Structure 1
Amino acid sequence: MKKIGLAAAVLLAMTGAHAYQFEVKGQSEYVDTTTNDKNYTGDLQGTYYFKNVDASKGPLAEAAFLNKASNVSVGYSYEQYNVKNSVNYHVGTYGVKGEAYFATPYTASIPLYANASYNHTNQDFKNGKNDDNGDRYALEVGAMPTNNFLLAVGYTRTNPLALDTFDIMNYGIAKAYGESTFSGNKDYTTARVKYVGAIDGTNMSIGFEGKTIFNNHQAAYGLKTDLFLTPALSVGVSFADTSNLNSGFDHVWGANVNYFVTPAISVGATYVKANAKNDIANSSTPSFGDTDTVGLNASVRF
């Protein structure tokens, strides 16, 4: 009877729970570029929230943001990339990130926000070249002047190709790679805005996020919007561009769909199309070129 009771409790948690404290996400993308030969990525992220997250109100995908849920995450991303008749290499990135929402006696009505992250990337070349290792440190601070509306600024320090594991999970490998190459292995600053709100008179909501990067008088920006048709189902589009002629990409388009089969289990699909800044089809250095990616993802909350 104890075993039956335990199984029933687990089943209930997986199918009907409206609160959670752990979340595990997995993702894989098929990468098709000017230079590569049918490669895939694999990404995994685990998040612990310091308090239970109430997922009974608003879009399930944005429950943590709506709850202002402080958390800590760890992630790992792996990509194997085979350049036709040239360089073959494996890229592994691991990272840790902390995110906090808090108030002070002077900002009781305006919650403050901060996040800090560290990522390490190893490029393991398979043709006799020395491996490359890169480190990425990022800090972001901000405030929520109104409910569900975040304004934040940040600073990132990076050196040879250092990807962001959490950006890979949220936006895909092409956009994460484009941001890293945009920086030119130098420090840069960021500004970000995010909003999620209900559409009056409907069961729908809208989400919006924008980010701008500044580096050496050059800029890049990204925009993403999601329409939550129901709390469980959303569709979204995204766009990114840059003024940096030495960056890897410009005109990066994306689309996504996400569905919560239960309040605790979600599945989704993504598509990203990125145009290269320059014709690098014959380049002997690791670079994506014109890129299309198709991704599948899933998450479990408990």
Structure 2
Amino acid sequence: MKFKFAALPLMLLSATAAAEQYTSITEAEYIQADTGFTDIDQFLIGSTYYFAPKETLGPLKEFEYINKVTNIFGGYSYADSDFGDSDSLVVGGEYFAANGFVVGGAMVESDGADMVSASLGYLFTPNFLMSLEAVDVEDADNQLFVNARYNHQLNGTDYIGFDVSVDDDLDSKTVSSKYFTQFAGGQYLAAEVSVNDTDNTDLFWAGNVEFYFNQNSSVGFGYDDADSYELNATHFFNRNVAAKVAYGSNTEFDDVDVFSLGLTVQL
């Protein structure tokens, strides 16, 4: 199966990107996966509303590394396979107080296990946020996480950001980083890597890179420690509507094929 993306020739056009502002981002995605032993069809939709405008860094899908805007969000997913179907619903939000405190919470209701989380943080500077997060999963032990997020501004919109998350028993440790830079010709590059170390499991890492031909169009590649990979392309037809196509597989299991088609609306 091959996707023909009519807007791809536009990727060859570079443009001087002016910052845009949005207060809501809504994404919908359809995923069709053939794992070799079952077929899976999945539909996801999610939306976030910000109570103040969010400004882009050039590309219409890139924003500041540390969000500092109060928001509410919700999402729904449904999956159907040869073994049955399942769905899940999530709602939540974050409140950023004028004195630097941040309060957040989320609730997930699913066929497997419901989950509730609550967090309290403090924005020490515009580039450094720390928080405590309590997670209560149905029929499982409660967990407490210490989270930290730091943004090192390089110049202009260029930055390198870091995230660290550790649970109170030191059983789970996750470190991630993102690098974003603009080139002289109006192109951009974003690269991300994450590493998770959990007791009784092997160290797991994942990474992806995305190259922006201009503020509207990009191609990306992702790979992880399980030898899974994804190729994708995104294009904004105007400042509000974008489409994304992707193909994924696994180098160890050739019969795994994952196709997805996504739509984004930013207002």
Change (3 A) 1:134 1:228: farther
Which position in structure 1 is the counterpart of 2:185? 202
Q: CA deviation at 1:76?
A: 1.6
Unmatched 5+ residue regions in structure 1?
1-16, 83-87, 122-132, 158-186, 242-249, 278-288
Matches of residues 1-302 of structure 1 in structure 2 within 5 Å? 18-36=20-38, 38-55=39-56, 57-63=57-63, 65=65, 69=69, 71-82=71-82, 88-96=83-91, 98=93, 107-108=124-125, 110-112=127-129, 140-146=147-153, 148-155=159-166, 188-199=172-183, 201-216=184-199, 218-241=202-225, 250-274=226-250, 291-302=256-267
Q: CA deviation at 1:195?
A: 1.9
Asked whether the 8 Å contact 2:127–2:150 carries over to 1, the reply is: yes
Q: CA deviation at 1:110?
A: 3.4
Asked whether the 8 Å contact 1:54–1:67 carries over to 2, the reply is: no
Q: Deviations over 1:240-272 (max 9, x none)?
A: 01xxxxxxxx20111111011111111111111
Asked whether the 8 Å contact 1:144–1:151 carries over to 2, the reply is: yes
Q: CA deviation at 1:18?
A: 3.1
Change (3 A) 1:219 1:27: same
Q: What is the rounded CA distance, in whole Å, between the counterparts of 2:218 and 2:262 in structure 1?
A: 14
What letter is aligned with 1:63?
Answer: F
What letter is aligned with 1:152?
Answer: D
Which position in structure 2 is the counterpart of 1:247? none
Which position in structure 2 is the counterpart of 1:172? none
What letter is aligned with 1:108?
Answer: T
Q: What is the rounded CA distance, in whole Å, between the counterparts of 1:45 and 1:261 in structure 2?
A: 20
Q: CA deviation at 1:144?
A: 1.0
Asked whether the 8 Å contact 2:189–2:212 carries over to 1, the reply is: yes
Q: What is the rounded CA distance, in whole Å, between the counterparts of 2:256 and 2:197 in structure 1?
A: 24
Q: CA deviation at 1:78?
A: 1.3
Asked whether the 8 Å contact 1:100–1:113 carries over to 2, the reply is: no
Q: What is the rounded CA distance, in whole Å, between the counterparts of 2:164 and 2:126 in structure 1?
A: 20
Asked whether the 8 Å contact 1:95–1:118 carries over to 2, the reply is: no
Q: CA deviation at 1:205?
A: 0.6
Q: Helix, strand or coil for the counterpart of 2:242?
A: strand
Q: CA deviation at 1:295?
A: 0.3
Which position in structure 2 is the counterpart of 1:280? none
Q: What is the rounded CA distance, in whole Å, between the counterparts of 2:149 and 2:59 in structure 1?
A: 23
Unmatched 5+ residue regions in structure 2?
1-18, 102-121
Q: What is the rounded CA distance, in whole Å, between the counterparts of 2:249 and 2:180 in structure 1?
A: 25
- RMSD of aligned alpha carbons: 3.6
Asked whether the 8 Å contact 1:98–1:117 carries over to 2, the reply is: no
Change (3 A) 1:119 1:229: farther
Q: Helix, strand or coil for the counterpart of 1:61?
A: coil
Higher helix share: 1
Q: How many residues end up aligned between the 2 structures?
A: 219
Asked whether the 8 Å contact 1:233–1:259 carries over to 2, the reply is: yes
Asked whether the 8 Å contact 2:66–2:127 carries over to 1, the reply is: no
